[in-house]
């Protein structure tokens, strides 16, 4: 066989203009509710996000005292997955653009 | 955190009641798929509350899956409970080990959480739930879910667990189980719930009261306890005993007489009862069963017994329960309840 020219040279239409899709960070925000136990919320943060006890506790207390806390930041789709996981656990989570 | 199996101590009768709640949860989920049920909406919140389009897109692609997973979790929990549900007369109240496999812990907790969210949602839509617990007959849902709401304690964990200070917690038993899952505490004291029994006056309403085990919590708020206030409104002077579960009846000290200073304030009277309750029925007072309270509250004639001594032995028991009064098949449990009542009565010192 050896080296040979490619059989076909597909006509690629490369879009190199990535400015149209900026890597805008999004956030998952967990909101306070009167139902979920604090220890449960900490547990969810720890098991799902893998946060340390201290970090999870801090987030939980932020939710409790400030009414909400940003628990994750990243691409929108990932954040939606996280939000849905939070909904799975019965936490009230929303997704928003960072800085909004 | 979930490396090991968790073992709960649970009596078959409890497993059965819990399983029925989960059954109801499944029904709520199944019937609320089309939307419109706020309780189901609470299980599937919108991640984009300010963006209707994005919200609808998200919902269209995730809602069904989310509810499917709730149903599957509920199923996991049901099958975990199924081993305990078989009710045999003599064993209904005998606690046994219920082993929850490590991989089932999360489904259990998600189900319990979903259950509590549904309860909370139902509760929020009911106007009278705060001060006056809804009885089954008056609840809008007419279900065990509504009834469980009415049995909730207020701040049972305030002094026990440093993180939990919220005063609006749904049902005690669910929390108790949940707390055991979280903390695997060996036993969790739950507030005694009693029924204030009017003094031989047919027609006076019986009233559920919660006997606050931590009076300083309440005093700290600087306001009158709601239960005491309610007792007062209802003519506290005529209420002379509080019936606890399974035949335990505690006397309530006399109320002030209209003209003089003799007697005690409603708060102090209740406090006295609480102390007696905690003392006389340690540890297992949390076993207030929905059906029992149901019957205590609704059965006519509980205060028709002429003599206190006789009442103390027999009044709030369920020996002569009304069969067929519940539509959901609760009579299956009734026999077992009676059996355990007898045993508990033998064990408990009544005053």
**Residue-wise pLDDT tens digits, B157-175:** 322 333 333 333 334 445 5
Q: Taking CB atoms and an 8 Å limit, are A40 and B66 in contact across chains?
A: no
SS3 A88: helix
Number of Cβ within a 10 Å radius of residue B253: 15
| Contact (CB<8Å) B182/A40 | yes
- Which of A80, A88, A94 lies nearest to residue B110, judging by beta carbons? A88
- Contacting A residues, span 27-66, partner chain B, CB-CB under 8 Å: 33-40, 42-43, 46-47, 60
For residue B97, the cross-strand partners are B9
pLDDT tens-digit profile of B249-260?
A: 666 666 666 555
- Could A95 and B47 be called an inter-chain contact, meaning their C-beta atoms sit closer than 8 Å? yes
Q: Picking from A55-69, B25-39, B113-127, which range would have the lowest pLDDT averaged per residue? A: B113-127
Span A52-68, pLDDT tens digits: 999 999 999 999 899 99
Nearest Cα of chain A lies from the Cα of B225 at a distance, in angstroms, of: 21
Q: Which helix (H) or strand (E) holds A74?
A: strand A68-74
C-alpha B36/C-alpha B30 separation (Å) is 12
From the CA of B342, how many Å to the nearest CA of chain A? 36
What is the model's pLDDT at position B163?
Answer: 35
- Cα torsion angle, B4, B5, B9, B15, sign: positive
Contact B66 A88 (CB under 8 A): yes
What pLDDT score was predicted for residue B41? 87
In degrees, rounded to 5, the angle at the alpha carbon of residue B122 between the alpha carbons of residues B121 and B124 is 65
Q: Is B220 on the interface with A (CB under 8 A)?
A: no
Q: Which uninterrupted H or E stretch holds A55?
A: helix A53-66
- Which residue from B282, B302, B283 is spatially nearest to B292, judged by alpha carbons? B302
Chain A residues whose CB is inside 8 A of the B117 CB are 35, 90
Residue A92: strand pairing partners: A31
Q: Determine whether the interchain pair A37/B170 forms a contact, defined as Cβ–Cβ distance below 8 Å.
A: no
Say which of A35, A38, A46 has its CB closest to residue B1. Answer: A46
B166 shares contact with chain A (CB less than 8 Å): yes
Give yes or no for residue B117 having a pLDDT over 50.
yes
Using one digit for the tens of pLDDT, what is the confidence trace for B144-157? 333 333 333 333 33
Give pLDDT, residue B292. 46
Q: Is the dihedral of CA B195, B200, B203, B204 positive or negative?
A: negative
A56, A90, A92, A94: best to mutate for the B interface, most B CBs within 10 A = A90
Q: What CA–CA distance (Å, rounded) separates B151 from B156?
A: 12
Contacts of A35 in chain B (CB under 8 A): 113, 116-117, 120, 168, 170
pLDDT above 60: residue B43: yes
Answer yes or no: do A47 and B164 touch at CB < 8 A. Answer: no
**Residues whose CB is less than 8 angstroms from the CB of residue A37 and which lie 6 or more positions away in sequence, other chains included:** B163, B164, B169, B175, B178, B179, B182
Strand partners, B195: B208, B243
pLDDT at residue B317 tops 50: no
Q: Please check whether residue A76 touches B, CB under 8 A.
A: no
The answer for residues whose C-beta is within 8 angstroms of residue B128's C-beta and 6 or more apart is: B134, B138
**Interface size, chain A vs chain B, as Cβ–Cβ contacts under 8 Å:** 75
Of residues B255 and A99, more confidently modeled? A99
Whether residue B188 lies within 8 A of chain A, CB to CB, comes out as: no
Contact present, B319 and B341 (Cβ < 8 Å): yes
Closest residue of chain A to B117, computed from CA coordinates:
A35
User: Per mean pLDDT, which range of A43-57, A81-95, B186-200, B252-266 is the poorest?
Assistant: B186-200
| Residue located via tokens 């809804």 | B134
- Contact between B195 and B288 under an 8 Å Cβ cutoff? The reply is no
What is the value of ipTM here, to two decimals?
0.76
The minimal CB distance from B183 to the residues A39, A46, A89 is found for: A39
* Banded model confidence at residue B182, pLDDT cuts 50, 70, 90: very low
Residue A10 CB contacts under 8 Å (≥ 6 apart), including other chains: none
């Amino acid at each position: 066989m050896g080296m040979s020219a490619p059989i076909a040279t597909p006509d690629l239409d490369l879009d190199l203009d990535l400015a149209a899709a900026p890597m805008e960070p999004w956030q998952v925000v967990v909101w306070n509710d009167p139902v979920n136990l604090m220890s449960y919320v900490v547990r969810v943060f720890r098991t799902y996000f893998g946060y340390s006890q201290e970090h999870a506790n801090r987030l939980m207390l932020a939710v409790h005292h400030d009414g909400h806390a940003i628990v994750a930041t990243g691409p929108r789709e990932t954040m939606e997955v996280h939000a849905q996981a939070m909904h799975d656990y019965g936490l009230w989570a929303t997704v928003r653009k960072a800085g909004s | 955190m979930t490396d090991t199996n968790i073992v709960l101590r649970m009596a078959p009768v409890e497993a059965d009641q819990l399983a029925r709640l989960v059954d109801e949860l499944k029904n709520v989920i199944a019937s609320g798929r089309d939307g419109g049920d706020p309780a189901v909406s609470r299980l599937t919140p919108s991640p984009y509350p300010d963006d209707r389009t994005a919200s609808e897109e998200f919902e269209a692609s995730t809602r069904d899956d989310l509810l499917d997973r709730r149903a599957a979790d509920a199923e996991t929990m049901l099958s975990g409970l199924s081993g305990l549900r078989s009710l045999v007369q003599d064993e209904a109240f005998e606690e046994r080990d219920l082993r929850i496999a490590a991989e089932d812990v999360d489904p259990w907790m998600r189900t319990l959480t979903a259950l509590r969210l549904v309860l909370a949602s139902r509760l929020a839509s009911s106007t009278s739930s705060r001060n006056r617990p809804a009885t089954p007959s008056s609840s809008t849902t007419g279900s065990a879910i509504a009834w469980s709401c009415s049995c909730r304690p207020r701040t049972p964990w305030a002094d026990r667990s440093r993180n939990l200070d919220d005063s609006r917690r749904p049902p005690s038993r669910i929390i108790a189980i949940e707390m055991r899952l979280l903390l695997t505490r060996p036993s969790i004291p739950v507030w005694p719930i009693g029924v204030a029994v009017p003094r031989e006056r047919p027609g006076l309403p019986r009233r559920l009261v919660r006997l606050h085990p931590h009076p300083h919590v309440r005093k700290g708020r600087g306001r009158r306890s709601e239960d005491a206030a309610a007792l007062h409104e209802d003519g506290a002077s005529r209420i002379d005993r509080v019936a606890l579960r399974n035949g335990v009846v505690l006397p309530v000290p006399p109320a002030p007489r209209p003209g003089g200073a003799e007697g005690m304030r409603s708060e102090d009277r209740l406090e006295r009862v609480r102390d007696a309750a905690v003392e006389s029925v340690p540890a297992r007072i949390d076993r207030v069963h929905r059906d029992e309270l149901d019957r205590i509250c609704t059965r006519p004639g509980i205060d028709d017994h002429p003599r206190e001594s006789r009442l103390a032995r027999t009044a709030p028991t369920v020996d002569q329960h009304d069969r067929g009064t519940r539509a959901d098949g609760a009579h299956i449990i009734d026999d077992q309840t009676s059996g355990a009542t007898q045993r508990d009565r033998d064990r408990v010192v009544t005053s």
